[in-house]
Amino acid sequence: MGENMEISGKTAFITGGARGIGFAVAKKFLEAGAKVTIFSKTTSNLEGELDKDKTLIIEGDVTNRESVREAIAETVQKFGSLDILVNNAGVAKREWFMETDEKDWDFVIDVNLKGAFIVAQEAIKIMREEKGEKLVLNIASGAGIRGVDEIAVYSATKAGMIVWAQALGDELKDTNIKFITVAPGATDTKMFRDLFPGEKPYNTSEEVAGVVLGAATGEIKPDERLVVDVFRHFQNR
């Protein structure tokens, strides 16, 4: 498999892409000439926002396998292939671990981990039957590299995404499918503002999306854990 990926003409499926980091990634990929499916829980805010020929907007939940499968089939039908999956949909709850009830941790684990598993399984079924380079790009978090207090369960799901991508990368090393995880730091989105009101984020969604695009094209290399650490990326420049 080549080192760099040409994005132009490729089809990307972005979960949770209706706002925040996912939406910024969708716009960056479109600018780079890709076709994009945004698969997100609510999409009414996207009315008239994006080029209809190059974009498919589908409302759905990553934890619902049937809706994921249908959305992927619709994507392939409209654009002819599925080349890049961006596992971006995510949720967080801020609470002390000892005060977290099982309903809350089930919710965070279901969306962030099981949701990503479901979407990846359904996407890989299609990708491995197609020719050409394919990429599964997970959006984890700096909290998955070093756990953060009050978001312990979220941190665990993000660490889970990192090691899961490594394991899957090894399982599928002889195929056309590559795995990368991008781990953003504090980014100015609704999620961050809701979790940490009044605190200052390090990055804009657009900055993070630039790193995601760079990681997808191969311009920004992941470390030996297959991770691109966004905070360090900007610190080291």
DSSP H helices in the chain? 20-31, 65-79, 102-109, 115-127, 152-171, 190-195, 205-217, 230-235
Active-site annotation holds for 154: yes
Q: How many CB atoms lie within 10 A of CB 5?
A: 19
210 lies in the site for ligand NAP, by CB under 6 A: no
Closest to ligand NAP by CB, 90 vs 222, is 90
Closest to ligand NAP by CB, 82 vs 140, is 140
- Smallest gap, in angstroms, from Cβ of residue 116 to ligand NAP? 9
Kind of pairing between the strands at 35-40 and 11-15? parallel
- Reading phi first (left if > 0) and then psi (alpha if -120 to 50, else beta), residue 96 is in beta
- Smallest gap, in angstroms, from Cβ of residue 52 to ligand NAP? 20
- Given a contact cutoff of 8 angstroms between Cβ atoms, the answer to whether 39 and 61 are in contact is no
Closest to ligand NAP by CB, 124 vs 186, is 186
Please identify which of the residues 10, 134, 154, 178 carries the catalytic annotation: 154
Contact string 7-46 vs ligand NAP (x = CB under 6 A): --------xx-xxxxx-----------------xxx----
| Interacting residues with ligand NAP between 45 and 84 (CB under 6 A) | 61-63
Active-site annotation holds for 202: no
Q: What are phi and psi of 198, to 5 degrees?
A: 85, -15
Q: Residues 52, 190, 200, 237: which binds ligand NAP (CB under 6 A)?
A: 190
Tokens of 162: 């990192």
Contacts of 94 (CB under 8 A, 6+ apart): 150, 151, 195, 196
222 lies in the site for ligand NAP, by CB under 6 A: no
Tokens of 229: 């650490």
184 lies in the site for ligand NAP, by CB under 6 A: yes
Please identify which of the residues 158, 190, 202, 221 carries the catalytic annotation: 158
Contact string 93-112 vs ligand NAP (x = CB under 6 A): ------------------x-
- Smallest gap, in angstroms, from Cβ of residue 51 to ligand NAP? 19
Q: Residues 159, 186, 213, 216: which binds ligand NAP (CB under 6 A)?
A: 186
The neighbouring-strand residues paired with 95 are: none
138 lies in the site for ligand NAP, by CB under 6 A: no
Rounded CA-CA distance 107/102 in Å is 8
Q: How far is CA 14 from the centre of its chain?
A: 6
Active-site residue list: 154, 158
